[in-house]
Amino acid sequence: MTPSTTTGAPITPLKPTLQRVAQHLVDGHGAQDIAMRTGMTTPLPERTLLPGPPYGYVRNALHELRVTERAAPEASTAVAPIPAQLTDLADQWVKAAHTCVADMGSATQRAQWQTLISAVETRQGSASPAGTDVLALCTALRNLLRTMLEYSRYEPPVTRISDYLRSRITDGTCSPGSPLGARRIAAELRLAPVSAVRVKLALADLKAEGVVESTRNGIRVTGTPAGRPERSVQVAQWLRTLIREGVYPPGSALPRVADLARPLVTPTPVISSAVALLDDEGAVRSGLGVRAVVVQNPGFAVAAPLDLTTVDRRLTLAGWAGSDTSPQRVRETCRRARSWWHHRITPAPDRVPHTHRTLTSMAAQLIPAAHNHHQTPTAKATMRRAAVTALAPQPEAPQEQLWRTACLAAAVLELQELAGDAA
């Protein structure tokens, strides 16, 4: 395609040598290496130069359009005939846009471009009404050119982004029900901010396929978690474990629902449903406006509460020797673990167990200090819950490991508060 020369000398396209260098840098040291450094099992989609006008050509066309628009009469004066320069510019770039659309594999992207092209075509050429508003044509053409400018960037195409997301859903990295935030995915792919629109187009394609769905809280993977119980059942199972391990022995009251939400990093409605499940099976007795109480015979064996004067030895053996347990390090580790769960981030396979063991070492250091400062039943329950969370076998499901590690991080933060200056 020949660039427009009405505003001066033609823009020189990107030199093939520079393109080859950029391609070498990305292909040789890009997607695969980034995936290894970030611990992702699915390789990142490679960046590529899409067929179409070079970036500099489109940018020059936008400049030419701005000059033409400034020379046009004010919208409030009168409707003027379209200048020949603007008609030629629109004809040139509508043809270029049609060429780009023919090469697109994304149905959503094609539909978006067809809408932009139609907006220009209805305001240009002999088919347009006499005296079509020049500024209306400029606006439509500017919207098309801006989209073409983003399209000409050296970024992964929409189809490769959708393939990448589809692979992560297929291999279970993004499990059913997990959220897919466009901003987070764009950051994960290291896209330029303006190119985050490609992620939204890819998600729209997956939505049309039924792979993802729109919910009140955003885009999520379609379906309920395969092979995984509902969240309320999971929380009920964990509460049952805490009762069995003597954290909340028979006859004791569970914390209020609002007080359980923070240590279990779970919304209060889910906590309420979990407590109701335990009530239905007879493990606890609850009522409206009162705390649930563990019954004397919950239906399963209950162990003696952990000895807080010796549990630090077991925790030390389960953790890392010589771990940094400074207050700042504790806060950073806990923040990272909870962030993984809150944002459903899938770190490298070995990072979650490593972080869990690090938090276990921190609990081993903090429990004795907290025990020396506090002897109340509530404080002891917090210490025992932290110890049980650290020592319990890790679940096999990756998402459950994230949640359990986030629960341990919340418990370690509580221990740090209880230990106070001694931490």
pLDDT digits (tens, 9 = 90+) for 272-321: 889 988 988 889 998 777 889 999 999 889 999 999 999 999 999 998 87
Task: Say what percent of the chain tops pLDDT 70.
Answer: 83
Check pLDDT > 80 for residue 178: no
Check pLDDT > 80 for residue 370: yes
Q: Which two tokens stand for residue 36?
A: 């290894």
Mean pLDDT of 74-82: 56
Range with top average pLDDT, 106-115, 171-180, 213-222: 106-115
d(CA 385, CA 381): 6
423 pLDDT band, cuts 50/70/90, is: low
CA atoms within 13 A on the CB side of 394: 20
pLDDT of residue 33: 44
- Identify whether the C-beta of residue 140 lies closer than 8 Å to the C-beta of residue 128: no
Check pLDDT > 70 for residue 255: yes
Q: Which two tokens stand for residue 312?
A: 């630090």
154-167 exposure pattern, b = at least 16 Cβ within 10 A, e = fewer: bbbbbbbbbbbbbe
Check pLDDT > 50 for residue 32: no
pLDDT of residue 224: 52
Give φ, ψ of 9 to 5 degrees. Answer: -70, 150
pLDDT of residue 348: 83
Check pLDDT > 90 for residue 177: no
Check pLDDT > 90 for residue 20: no
Range in 26-30, 165-169, 181-185 with the lowest mean pLDDT: 26-30
3-class SS of residue 408 = helix
Fold designation for 231-294: Arc Repressor Mutant, subunit A (1.10.10)
Check pLDDT > 90 for residue 171: no
- The residue written with tokens 């330029």 in the block is 192
389 burial class (0-12, 13-18, 19+ CB within 10 angstroms)?
A: buried
pLDDT of residue 132: 55
Region of residue 228 (phi > 0: left; psi between -120 and 50: alpha; otherwise: beta): beta
41 compared with 188, residue with greater pLDDT: 188
Helices (H) and strands (E) in the chain, counts: 17, 4
pTM of the prediction? 0.51
Give φ, ψ of 231 to 5 degrees. Answer: -60, -40
- Identify whether the C-beta of residue 387 lies closer than 8 Å to the C-beta of residue 363: yes
Cα distances (angstroms) measured from residue 368 to each of 228, 258, 308, 387, 410: 36, 27, 8, 12, 18
* Strand partners of residue 48: 155
pLDDT of residue 302: 93
408 closest CA partner among 352, 370, 368? 352
Check pLDDT > 80 for residue 409: yes
423 compared with 83, residue with greater pLDDT: 83
- Identify whether the C-beta of residue 74 lies closer than 8 Å to the C-beta of residue 83: no
246-278 exposure pattern, b = at least 16 Cβ within 10 A, e = fewer: bbbbeeebbbebeebbebbbbeeebbbbbbebb
pLDDT of residue 133: 75
94 closest CA partner among 36, 53, 150, 38? 53
Distance of CA 153 to the CA centre of its chain: 23
- Identify whether the C-beta of residue 348 lies closer than 8 Å to the C-beta of residue 401: no
* Start-end of CATH 1.10.10.10 domains in the chain: 158-221, 231-294
Mean pLDDT of 168-177: 77
Check pLDDT > 80 for residue 173: no
Cα distances (angstroms) measured from residue 34 to each of 19, 110, 188: 21, 30, 10
Range in 27-41, 98-112, 315-329, 400-414 with the lowest mean pLDDT: 27-41
Task: Say what percent of the chain tops pLDDT 90.
Answer: 49
d(CA 385, CA 388): 5
300 closest CA partner among 358, 219, 355, 245? 245
CATH number for 158-221: choose from 1.10.10.10, 3.40.50.2300, 3.90.226.10, 1.10.3210.10.
1.10.10.10
- The residue written with tokens 């009405």 in the block is 6
Check pLDDT > 90 for residue 330: yes
d(CA 330, CA 339): 14
Neighbours of 308 (CB within 10 A): 17
Q: Which amino acid appears at position 10 of this protein?
A: P
Q: What is the pLDDT of residues 185-199, one digit of tens each?
A: 888 899 998 999 999
d(CA 95, CA 101): 10
Cα distances (angstroms) measured from residue 4 to each of 58, 61, 63, 119, 140: 10, 7, 11, 21, 19
Range with top average pLDDT, 313-322, 385-394, 396-405: 385-394
pLDDT of residue 1: 41
Check pLDDT > 90 for residue 36: no
76 compared with 101, residue with greater pLDDT: 101
pLDDT of residue 289: 74
d(CA 384, CA 312): 11
What does 292-346 look like in DSSP terms, one character per residue? EEE-S--SS--PPPP-TTTHHHHHHHHS-TT----HHHHHHHHHHHHHHHHTT--
- Mean pLDDT (the chain, rounded): 82
Mean pLDDT of 383-390: 95
